[in-house]
Amino acid sequence: MRAMTATIDELAPFRWLGLPESDGGGPPLGVIFSVAYFRGLGAAEVARRFSRGTDPGTVMGFDGLIERVWEFVEETEGGYGGGHVGIVEAGEWCVAVEPHGWLTILSDVVAELSRGCEMLSINRHDHASVSDLVYAIDGEIVTTFPVGRPHDRHGADPDLLNDLLAELGMYPDLLDDPPGTATPDPAALSQAFALAARITGVPFTRDLLDHPMLVARIADL
């Protein structure tokens, strides 16, 4: 996992993910979303896990995923997330995009989704003023922390990613929260997705949303 120290250019491809709502309404994913990476599972199995076997998934584009999400949000008044996930295969990993959702950072959901595989997930939720990163292997959370506060980490091996965190300027050894951490930091989100790219080899750039997705409903997890 060791790599060279992060540069501004390394973070640049991920800055769109942290754009504030005031700057044109946020990125295409909005200001509430989760992105989860799975190693060791194909797209069909990821869809089966999210849907508990009730939906094999339908291949469509990102616009189709967003349409289904907003139909679900309107029906449920937004309290149950987006209700759907779009899955893209990328080499050894699958990337699951959950617009208007936060399930993939919840510990009980992570325990189920990560059985028999490696999983990393990042959430952005501006309305709750929180973002999180979770790294799990075979049902166990290895390390997790609020984005922008990696010193506030815990898990079975919370220090496993410390070298990478330091290289990306994420300061895992701080004793106190840095100033200005009451709301999610756009730069911190860029660092989190740069970390995910180093671990998975899959940069979550805008063009990933142009790929066909296997879209499945999310069952009660």
Q: In what order do the strands lie in the sheet with 140-146?
A: 58-60, 213-217, 84-90, 93-99, 32-39, 118-125, 130-137, 140-146
d(CA 141, CA 108): 10
Lowest mean pLDDT among 20-29, 131-140, 174-183: 174-183
Question: Any idea where the domains of the chain sit in the sequence?
Answer: 8-217
61, 191 in Cβ contact below 8 A?
no
Stated as kind and residue range, the H or E segment containing 62 is: helix 62-76
Q: Taking the CA atoms of the chain, what radius of gyration do you get in angstroms? A: 16
- Give yes or no for residue 85 having a pLDDT over 50: yes
34, 197 in Cβ contact below 8 A?
no
- DSSP three-state, residue 134: strand
pLDDT in tens, 89-104: 999 999 999 999 999 9
pLDDT of residue 176: 56
pTM of structure: 0.91
**pLDDT band at residue 130 under the 50/70/90 scheme:** confident
Across 149-175, average pLDDT: 90
Across 48-64, average pLDDT: 97
Query: Which one has a higher pLDDT value, 175 or 33?
Result: 33
Query: Which one has a higher pLDDT value, 220 or 190?
Result: 190
81, 100 in Cβ contact below 8 A?
yes
**pLDDT band at residue 3 under the 50/70/90 scheme:** very low
pLDDT of residue 21: 80
Q: Taking all residues of the chain, what is their mean pLDDT, rounded to a whole number?
A: 90
pLDDT of residue 175: 57
d(CA 45, CA 152): 33
**pLDDT band at residue 5 under the 50/70/90 scheme:** low
DSSP characters for 96-126? Answer: EEEET--GGGSHHHHHHHTTTSEEEEEEEEG
The HSE-up count of residue 135 (CA atoms within 13 Å, CB side) is 23
C-beta neighbour count of 92 within 10 angstroms: 13
Across 213-221, average pLDDT: 93
